[in-house]
A = this chain, B = another copy of it.
Amino acid sequence: MSKRDFLSAADLSRAELDDLLDLAARAKGKRPGQVLAGKTLGLLFFEPSLRTRVSFEVAMVQLGGHCINLSRDDLYELEPQEQAVMDGAAEEHVKDAARTLSRYVDALGIRAASRTGGWDKDRQELLVRSYARHASVPVINLETCFEHPCQAIADVMTMRENLVSMRGRKLTLLWCNHPEPKSLGPTHSVLQLAAMMGMQVTLAHPLGFEVDDQVLQRSKGLAAEAGGSVQVVNDLRSAAPGAEVLYARSWASTKYWDDPEREAMVKRSLQGWRVDAALMASTNQAFLMHPLPVRRNVVATDEVLDGPRSVIYDQAANRTHVQKALLMQLLKQGPA
């Protein structure tokens, strides 16, 4: 029996994305049901989580199913390397964990977003992809340093709720300053899905904070197919004018991936890269989005985050709904 994973925004065709969004919109108004009664979703979190953890557990509960939560402390160290001679710290191979869990649960979700080496290595998402290869049940990416596709579907759902039509609409993905180097996952995933929807995307960041080139090229291709566009700008003043959606988020430099202190030094001169009322005023009455958690008064001011154009909690709330749709599709069930 073949199985379907959900690891990347790029795993979805436009038709599949539309189906998911439609199903999520229908799920949003529904009362709790039982379509996944007796089904279990294993959640493996190798890093802390609030929205992803709680929204998935609520999604399963509202479908009558159950989440089994495992965190780093519940588990021993796992070996991801094929053919390894396991005489080191790892007690079990990812292969055996994945195959065993596949005999217990109906789907697996995994968050593994820590940096473990150079960017060339981490961009391969070894742990999540190794689980997916060896598991016989669907595997869902709950965020790596490279993608966060569940967040991005909820983001697109939130844009669609507010803009109604999406083709040709202007979205700015804005890099913001932040005391820590953050995952590129949400940015990579929402960039691809916004492109797929045919939006006119402006990716705005300082030099040195380029996104992954493969993701950028793929996004340009997707946008071209769908009647949209992707352009990159490197000065803050070009970022906001015309934007109908301003999506703020910090991300790490892949150039300094191995050297967070160097990145921190570079960022000292980039403190202007943040969202405030003046920047919002220069947009085309944009909705303000951010995937949370957000550093208030660093990434964006209280005034704009709590202002009338902010839809940040709707993004969070829509996580539950898109994940209910996703779980129903992956577990081959009809709608509730």
Q: Which A positions have Cβ atoms within 8 angstroms of B? A: 31-32, 37-38, 40, 42, 45, 48-51, 53-55, 57-58, 61-62, 66, 68-71, 73-76, 79, 83-88, 91-93, 96-97, 99-101, 103-105, 179, 292-298, 302, 312-313, 316-317, 320
Contacts and interface: CB of A to CB of B under 8 A. Distances in A.
A294 B207 CA distance: 48
Given A66-B61, A97-B50, A317 B83 contact: no
Nearest to A180: B91
Given A38-B62, A104-B58, A84 B296 contact: yes
B296 A100 contact: no
Contact of A68 (B58, B293, B294): B58
Contact of A296 (B50, B79, B179, B293): B79
**Which 5 pairs of residues, A with B, have the shortest CB-CB distance?**
A32-B38, A92-B293, A103-B317, A86-B295, A85-B297
Contacts of A79: 296
A80 B313 CA distance: 18
B48 A92 contact: no
Contact of A57 (B68, B87, B313): B68
A104 B293 contact: no
A111 to B, nearest CB: 11
5 contacts: A53-B68, A57-B66, A79-B296, A86-B297, A103-B320
A75 B93 contact: no
A295 B73 CA distance: 20
Contact of A103 (B49, B85, B313): B313
Nearest to A293: B92
B83 A302 contact: yes
Majority SS of interface residues in chain A?
mixed
Given A54-B68, A100-B292, A105-B54, A87 B298 contact: yes
A179 B87 contact: yes
Nearest to A106: B58
Contacts of A104: 54-55, 58, 316-317, 320
A99 B313 contact: yes
A83 B32 CA distance: 37
Contacts of A75: 48, 50
Contacts of A97: 50, 293
A71 B74 contact: yes
B313 A100 contact: yes
Given A58-B105, A62-B38, A92-B293, A50 B100 contact: yes
B316 A92 contact: no
A100 B58 CA distance: 13
A214 B47 CA distance: 43
B66 A40 contact: no
Contacts of A32: 37-38
Nearest to A313: B99
A313 B99 CA distance: 7
A76 B48 contact: yes
B76 A293 contact: yes
Given A48-B73, A297-B83, A313-B103, A96 B292 contact: yes
